[in-house]
Structure 1
């Protein structure tokens, strides 16, 4: 298969950003070096910043993304106060029945959100941050939530559950992915073909019961 040039990748990333109605790409600068995409400039919300990474990963040949975008609201926009942001995040979390917010503490300082406390599954930690990212006024998120499983799990069983999940997914060659688990912490290494395969492998780890953290050492092979 022919290796894609950086210029070809750059053009498609830019086209994808301008296509995405969630993103104002007019203040985004894109550079590509050996498949590594760097995004710099400003976007109008934290959720838009996340969308730019998703857009870039959709492009064939992208191996790494360095998202340096800043969240900058229009001068005419009345940014919510920290207390309002905190209240809105807590309300949104409370509406998600899969997350028990009784052990979650939300604090906001100058638009930077810190999540502290505990949840009983790794995917709930990820989900809590995702919910917070959609709240207007958020500039960044520091996720300090810890995982306290509701029951005891054996590392080898966790690893086997992850391997079994990966092997069932047609997007990933399980022989190219190494899974290790130490005290509930998953270490993923090896190679995957593209972003969708990477995401599938990460999902297999994040959604498995007993996982308290994921150390991602996977390499996306640039085409």
Structure 2
């Protein structure tokens, strides 16, 4: 695993490195996880004021990138959830022993986008919720699929939506996403923020994450915004 921020060529970064470029050149249709067109959640909850959602779905670069291109999102910050503050450090989290998952804290305006729509995008284009403790080339509990809820209403919507999608059999396998109350969110190191926008040609991003943003634009055209909502002007600290 990388010891330098600039050489994050490991599980989350270019775990596929030069092989990714070669494979993409031979079989571009295999890039990223396939998006799945799914129905919106039947359950909903009324919300007012700026709300927070915390989601984990593989490497946080792609998760953040997709939601930064989503209308109604006030901010999307990469970070860690599920473990302690003492272990909220990239190199420690990358060992897969801290309890943390690479996560994204999403602040959103419910007058412009609902929590249900955020979950629909999460399950459809952000990641494959049927993969256990892995996502694409990345494996380990730090890449697990998880929803960290910030209210009882969010938990009800998330649980009901997972049950709805499983019953409809929209995926070939059952959803393994874990739903649990958020205990804490710790922003990741600054060099992880806005990574997709800042490094669009980095092999891992080009191969795994840019297609997710393209799928957002195609499947959720009404929610897509061309100019991303970036963290760049915000100081991010642990």
Q: Shorter chain as normaliser: what TM range?
A: under 0.3
Which structure's relative contact order is higher, taking Cα pairs within 8 Å and 6+ residues apart? 2
Give me the TM-score of the superposition, normalised by structure 1. Answer: 0.21
Give me the TM-score of the superposition, normalised by structure 2. Answer: 0.20
